A and B are shown apart, each in its own frame.
Chain A
Amino acid sequence: MSDYIIFQDVDRCIGCYSCEIHCKANKKLPDGPRLCRIYQFGPKLVDKVPRMAFSFLACFHCEKPWCVSACPSKAMQKRPKDGIVYVEAEKCIGCKLCLYACPWGVPQFIQEDCVAVKCDLCKDRIDQGLQPACVTKCITGCLQFGRRELMPEEQVRRYELLATP
């Protein structure tokens, strides 16, 4: 895992898909690749109200990233200083091995340029002291960004809830 995480407060997410667009607009991506996705669950009837939930998924920035090991040209790499996993486009040979290697299908492909692309936690923004595009502009503020050890209490509380039988 990288030193940073994006935390999503599912209760606050309104499934507006804005984060997907914020990301694409920021990275000027063409048709096709989307670096984060919102997945809808439901509607499902819970206590007389049909409920929906929306889950935000980008890259997990794994501790031992399969995508990095799979890359033959060292284009996919893990940034030593904070563990962010990213593609260096100039080195990418377009072999798509990272797409196959990632268990969650996270890496995307830019057909026009024949290169892989994935969430890099907006490292250029982080380096300027800013937050990732998706987090910065999320309508409801349900996305939060921070250092892993400062993971919001709420998330910890939820883990605990899940862990207690």
Chain B
Amino acid sequence: MDLIDFPPPPAQDVEALRAEVRAFLAEELATRRPQDRARSWSGFDADFSRKVGARGWIGMTWPKRYGGHERSALERYVVLEEMLAAGAPVAAHWFADRQSGPLLLKVGSEEQRRTLLPRMAAGECCFCIGMSEPDSGSDLAAVRTRAVPVEGGFVVNGTKLWTTYAHHAHFMILFCRTGGAEERHGGTSQFLVDLKTPGITIRPIADLAGEHHFNEVVFEDAFLPSSALLGQLGDGWNQVVGELAFERSGPERFLSSFTLLVELVRALGPNPSEQAAVAAGRLTAHLLVLRRLSRSVAGMLQNGENPALQAALVKDLGAIFEQEIPDIARQLVDAEPSQRSTRDFSAVLAHTILNVPSFSLRGGTREILRGIIARGLGLR
């Protein structure tokens, strides 16, 4: 069955690059505490992102004329996974590198590419994703935010929800309605929204741990110039579906709890009990296989294939893995979770427990992914 056939990742010697990234991270993150590393790709640090950009590690696969580096998907993968494994604060450039940049390359105008891609690659331009709304989560085609054509552009009204780091971002890729509601897929478009535009209000939403990363973004008669239209008018649905393939396949889909696994191994020490060795070994086995699957998807992307189904499979398996790590860790180490603990294991465990519910929601819920897989199997 093609769906479960994951070709071997492309063979390329990337060890020199890996060593370079490791050395960079060892220096930059020398004082970063485990509980901060545990934030994984939610950690935000604009200075750090600029340094990564200066190294040439953002937009690695993009053409040089847009500030990219024309390196392979596998090289990019090495940089990503090393960053995540080290718990580097990558959020300031993550969305641009992962999806907004590739989207611009695919459907953006020449002007949009020339002005924005080099800034993204330098780690100086932060993006956020404006898809979800109060009444449109899994059912993305139900968005109600609307852009109405006016002289010289569009006027936007509506509310976007859960927009991660909108409060730090320079731009949002907005997915909204431009045609009739009855058209569903056909009447949608994407826009490149400068978040300084008048008529946009960004309000924080605290997550269950009291932390602020996502937001509500309200558009009230916000005027966007015609040049803000991204891709074709009315082609928003196809564009957004293509974007999701980039969003689902990467190593961030199974490494979100990796810091806890590291702290678990530290807490268990060199001579773990029988039970602990079995549990840690099993998790490591899962990690090896997930990494293989995910690198295979990176290879398919590099070959210009569309591995949307395979990406859904990897994300579903990855979320199960990320979510079971805290449950296993807490049974092996005698420690209660506490965000304030001075004991690394307890603090990292606390952070992870408080965040795992989101792992099977963000980027497409578990049920939606499984629906996509079922369609791939020919059941729907």
A binds B: no
